[in-house]
Structure 1
Amino acid sequence: MMKKEERVLLYQFPEDQIHTAQDVFRTLGIRMQVLPPNAWLEKIGYLLGSKGFKAVQPQEEQNFDFPHRVILLENIRGKRLTKVLSAMEEAGIPRVTYKSAITPYNTLWTLRFLCEHMAKEHAVSAEEAEREGDVR
């Protein structure tokens, strides 16, 4: 069986971190794609260039304020994911809170929906951690 191509999509990364990330991913043999600011309008499948996805035609002026860096990982899991994230931190890229594996399910979501979903999950995790801290 042929190994599937590994790819990362970066959203809202500062320019200096993009250059550092390029070096890290090149060394690891991972393809990197930087998403434009308005990528939040599009479905993940479209951003990946998957068949059957078309660009969104915005109906009206829309805004989305999500001030966090996001990394989407395609075909990177388990020990390999740990290695990739460690390599990023070792290169000086601060830990990325909002990260997601790309799945057949979330390719149907817009980047905005995925970001909102991750933000809700992060809020719940933070709340649980805080509660556990109070219990001790």
Structure 2
Amino acid sequence: MDKRKEEKILLYNFSDEEYLNQISGIFKALRIQVVILKPEDYCQKIGYLLKLPGFSVVERDEDKDFDFNHEVLVFYNIKNKRLDEVLKKLRNADIEIIYKAVVTPLNRFWSLERLCLSIQKEHGYILEQKSKNE
């Protein structure tokens, strides 16, 4: 398989091992590579976490911590109908992960922390719009 087209999922902040195994099993059945991230990976660039060429490790600032309490799912090389198929499989398994993102040419250069905060801000905006419309 062409490495550039390899489908991957980054999973961050999943603390329930059974739940994590269930989610990983769904992706593995779909032949999607699962990358389970560690809490300290928050400072790494998305491209590095995906093992893309041109990215290197970022030294973590020991004095800094990232307090983020949400499970995050990041899709890489999963688009259009394939993304719809993956999301449907998750829904059918009663798995609801609110914080999701797709890797783009821009956000691959972001740190995981920046991506998480961006998703959180976007989600807050969507909730705000929903409450205004009700």
> Would the TM-score normalized by the shorter structure come out above 0.5?
yes
Residues 78-97 of structure 1 correspond to what in structure 2 (within 5 A)? Answer: 78-93=80-95, 95-97=96-98
C-alpha separation in 1, matches of 2:22 and 2:5: 24
Q: What is the percentage of aligned positions where both structures have the same residue? A: 38
Letter in 2 for 1:40: Y
Partner of 1:103: 104
The alignment's TM-score, normalised by the length of structure 1, stands at 0.89
Q: Secondary structure at the match of 2:5?
A: coil
Letter in 2 for 1:69: E
For the pair shown, which has the larger CA radius of gyration, 1 or 2? Answer: 1
C-alpha separation in 2, matches of 1:87 and 1:7: 16
- Asked if 1:53 corresponds to 2:48, the answer is no
Q: Which runs of 5 or more residues in structure 2 are unaligned?
A: none
The alignment's TM-score, normalised by the length of structure 2, stands at 0.90
Partner of 2:13: 12
Letter in 2 for 1:9: L
Q: Which runs of 5 or more residues in structure 1 are unaligned?
A: none
1:82-124 deviation line (CA, Å, top 9, x unaligned): 211221232242x111100011110100000001111111111
- Cα distance 1:60–1:34, how it changes in 2: closer, same or farther (>3 A)? closer
Q: How many residues align?
A: 132
Letter in 2 for 1:25: F
Moved over 2 A (4+): 89-93
- Cα distance 1:123–1:58, how it changes in 2: closer, same or farther (>3 A)? same
- Cα distance 1:3–1:106, how it changes in 2: closer, same or farther (>3 A)? closer
After superposition, the CA RMSD in angstroms is 1.8
C-alpha separation in 2, matches of 1:12 and 1:60: 19
